[in-house]
Structure 1
């Protein structure tokens, strides 16, 4: 069974391999082994820390195959983007150019360098092994971090954002970078992508234009990709939308990829989650392919006992708010999370323990507050 857990220093070799092979580059996971080891150590310290408000913490998660012990994916959360240096993005603005004499009043689309996202919690470091088939594993490793955010609210800001890969061609060339970034840096996109360390380097403000860029003056190829996710990022884009993220007024400062934001209170991991009590289910009862079964629907199921966060995907009875469920079913759904032995082992729980359950696909918002609260 696949499950998500915090990364450990013992995972260094496997994570280093994923960081080297990931396309696009994971700038939140450096290729330098010593720097990567430091990032993992920071993550371990962050999970252990008693945190009352977000700061320099960094939380790294891995997707593990419980049968083989192999790591198949990563994702992370930066508690406060740009904690030590500002986080830079382009803000979409509309500038008015008017002349009473000529009877001209034009609204011109412009991009202005901004660090307004600085200090907000950020999702980063999403990687899934290409050998995995289907969307279930991608949903699990991406959305488990939002379940963790929902269970540990004080560790993160009320609003979170995610920066997705912008459009590049088969050679990794970004039309927007060629039209803008290369003019100022004189270097390839990949080189600056790695050096930027997550869009929080002083050299960005030193080299990139301080004045607005007028979009109509850019080549058409660059204009077309503004705010568009790369085809390789479409699955991640859809997963974010399912969680409750929406496109915002910002785009990436290098490749013009979309910036998605969400109010944590309105995400699926908060608004559609329930606290349930684990009950033993006989045999291999829980489907893990992300599809609904005859007896229930696909859910993310998470535990955080003594700070040992775990998350799996399992088929559970309908949520209490489901209109299609009978009164008896709704009563059982409130109380029980029937999990088979593999799911219980992956979560480190037993009969009678509490878990947080989040539907993979939300049909409607919850009307009752059944959340587990802040477990930090």
Structure 2
């Protein structure tokens, strides 16, 4: 069974392997072993710390196969992006250029370097073993972070954002980088990705233009990819939408990938949360009334999350022995449950105007 748990120093070898082989680059996992060890140690300290408001905490999660003990993925949360240095992105503005004499009134889109995302909580460092089949593991690895945020609200800001990979070709070339970034850095996209360690390095402000970039003046290839996720990021994009994220006016400063934001209070992991009592009765064979749920525990402060089929009616959570072991729970313990997908009947009620807030 696959389950999500906090990363620990004992995972260092596996995490180092993922850091060196993951494509695109995982900013949350440095290639240098000493720096990676410090990052994992920071995560362990963050999970243990008593936190009343977000600061420099960093939370690293891993996806483990309970049968083999092998790590199959990782993802992280930055409590406050740009805590020590501003977090940079391009803000997509609409500027009005008008002339009464010429009877001209034009709205022109322009990109302005911004650090307005600084201080907001950020989902980052998402990676799944390419050998895993199906979408279930990807959903679990990504959305387990929101399950943790929903259960630990004081540790994070009311709004969270995620930066997705922008469009690149098979050789890893970004049309937007070639049109903009290369002009100022004079280096390859992959090199600056590694150097940047995210989007919070001083050299970004030192090198990138502080004045607006008028979108119509960019090459057509660069304009086409503004705010578009790469093909490799389409599943992650859909998973974020399922959780309640929406596209925002910001794009990545290097490859123009989309920035997605969500109000925690309106996220699926808050709005659709159910608390259920664990039953040690083995779950019955799946029927049409069952649904797949994200199921999370935080027993003794040790967060765990799995996927499992539960009855549609609220109340008990009959879990297999493997699921109970992965979650570290026993009979009558409570778990946090959130439907993985919005059910068709819920959608119909929303369309008829008889349900609560839409996701």
What band does the TM-score fall into relative to the shorter chain?
Answer: over 0.9
Q: Comparing 65-74 with 91-100, which one deviates more in the overlay?
A: 91-100
Give the equivalent residue in structure 2 for 1:273.
Answer: 273
Give the equivalent residue in structure 1 for 2:296.
Answer: 302
Give the equivalent residue in structure 2 for 1:87.
Answer: 87
Give the equivalent residue in structure 2 for 1:191.
Answer: 191
> Residue 343 of structure 1: which of 316, 323, 329 is its match?
323
TM-score by length of 1: 0.91
Separation (CA, whole Å) in 2 of partners of 1:281 and 1:69:
25
Structure 2 gap ranges (5+): none
Q: CA RMSD in A?
A: 1.4
Give the equivalent residue in structure 2 for 1:258.
Answer: 258
Give CA deviations for 1:1-52 in whole Å, capped at 9, x if unaligned. Answer: 0000000000000011011111111112111111111110000000000000
Give CA deviations for 1:325-351 in whole Å, capped at 9, x if unaligned. Answer: xxxxx3xx2x20110100000000000
Q: 1:71 to 1:293 in 2, by over 3 A?
A: farther
User: Pairwise mapping of residues 133-282 of structure 1 onto structure 2 (< 5 A)?
Assistant: 133-282=133-282
TM-score by length of 2: 0.95
Give the equivalent residue in structure 1 for 2:309.
Answer: 315
Task: Give the superposition deviation at 1:104.
Answer: 1.1
Structure 1 gap ranges (5+): 319-329, 369-376
Task: Give the superposition deviation at 1:367.
Answer: 5.7
Task: Give the superposition deviation at 1:362.
Answer: 2.3
Q: 1:212 to 1:299 in 2, by over 3 A?
A: same
Separation (CA, whole Å) in 1 of partners of 2:163 and 2:284:
33
Q: 1:8 to 1:109 in 2, by over 3 A?
A: same
Q: 1:309 to 1:286 in 2, by over 3 A?
A: farther
Separation (CA, whole Å) in 2 of partners of 1:33 and 1:134:
31
Give the equivalent residue in structure 2 for 1:104.
Answer: 104
Q: 1:286 to 1:96 in 2, by over 3 A?
A: farther
Task: Give the superposition deviation at 1:295.
Answer: 4.7
SS of structure 1 residue aligned to 2:255: coil
Give the equivalent residue in structure 2 for 1:7.
Answer: 7
1:352 corresponds to 2:332: yes
1:61 corresponds to 2:61: yes
Report if the CA contact (8 A) 1:158-1:265 is conserved.
yes
Separation (CA, whole Å) in 2 of partners of 1:6 and 1:176:
35
Report if the CA contact (8 A) 1:27-1:125 is conserved.
yes
Separation (CA, whole Å) in 2 of partners of 1:310 and 1:195:
33
Q: 1:227 to 1:352 in 2, by over 3 A?
A: same
Task: Give the superposition deviation at 1:281.
Answer: 2.4
Task: Give the superposition deviation at 1:102.
Answer: 1.2
Report if the CA contact (8 A) 1:27-1:197 is conserved.
yes
Separation (CA, whole Å) in 1 of partners of 2:356 and 2:324:
28
